[in-house]
A and B are shown apart, each in its own frame.
Chain A
Amino acid sequence: EDQVTQSPEALRLQEGESSSLNCSYTVSGLRGLFWYRQDPGKGPEFLFTLYSAGEEKEKERLKATLTKKESFLHITAPKPEDSATYLCAVQIIQGAQKLVFGQGTRLTINP
């Protein structure tokens, strides 16, 4: 069964304290791995897509990396405005191109 697991479930950091979020997956026929940011009560906002092991993408204080079994979202010197839930999803093709999501990591950055 296709499965995505994110850890930790929640993470609280001080402003400027760097850390990493993990996304591990077991899927057949991975087409892409996606990271989204979701603010409370809002829809997910697209951050990155990774397609192959070894690939890296960066945007401001965020960097996403991909191996054959997991992805990391590294956050460097975070600010309070980086507080959000970060969702990882893998795209699989079963007729539809569907996204299978993890449960998310709730990140809080304290000033």
Chain B
Amino acid sequence: ETGVTQSPTHLIKTRGQQVTLRCSSQSGHNTVSWYQQALGQGPQFIFQYYREEENGRGNFPPRFSGLQFPNYSSELNVNALELDDSALYLCASSLGTPQETQYFGPGTRLLVL
């Protein structure tokens, strides 16, 4: 059984650019959640996808968007990058039923210059 994987591991962008981060969920999981973790802070919920539909969103602007594909892998897109977008972006997968554990991938470290 493979765990959650994310790509790329590291990324450097400049302000105003756009970025796409990718996540493959753990085998058998149909729900993917994305979190942003600033240095020294706990992860903050961005949004969640269940069976290819967004079913909840945190306090992030519309320039943060996502997709989930039929194989339950997912993308996080961020447009018009700002310096404050520099963070570790974490993807977590789960079975999507209440109280199910979310299992995290290794993260993508994004630096915006």
Contacts and interface: CB of A to CB of B under 8 A. Distances in A.
B42 A103 contact: yes
B37 to A, nearest CB: 8
A97 interface: yes
Contacts of B98: 31, 93, 97
A78 interface: no
B63 interface: no
A49 B101 CA distance: 8
A11 to B, nearest CB: 15
Interface residues of B, number: 34
A87 B57 CA distance: 21
A93 B50 CA distance: 14
B62 interface: no
Interface of A (DSSP majority class) = strand
B42 A91 contact: no
A99 B57 contact: no
Most chain B CB inside 10 Å of its own CB: which residue of A34, A99, A101: A99
Nearest to B49: A96
A41 interface: yes
B48 A42 contact: no
Given A91-B99, A103-B40, A45 B47 contact: no
Given A103-B40, A103-B42, A95 B56 contact: yes
Contact of B99 (A31, A43, A95, A102): A31
A98 B43 CA distance: 11
B72 interface: no
Interface of A: 4, 6, 31-32, 34, 36, 41-46, 49, 51, 87, 89, 91, 93-104
16 contacts: A34-B102, A43-B105, A44-B90, A44-B104, A46-B104, A87-B42, A93-B98, A97-B33, A97-B56, A97-B102, A98-B33, A98-B56, A98-B58, A99-B102, A102-B42, A104-B42
User: 9 nearest interchain CB pairs?
Assistant: A96-B56, A101-B42, A96-B48, A95-B56, A43-B104, A98-B45, A44-B104, A43-B106, A32-B99
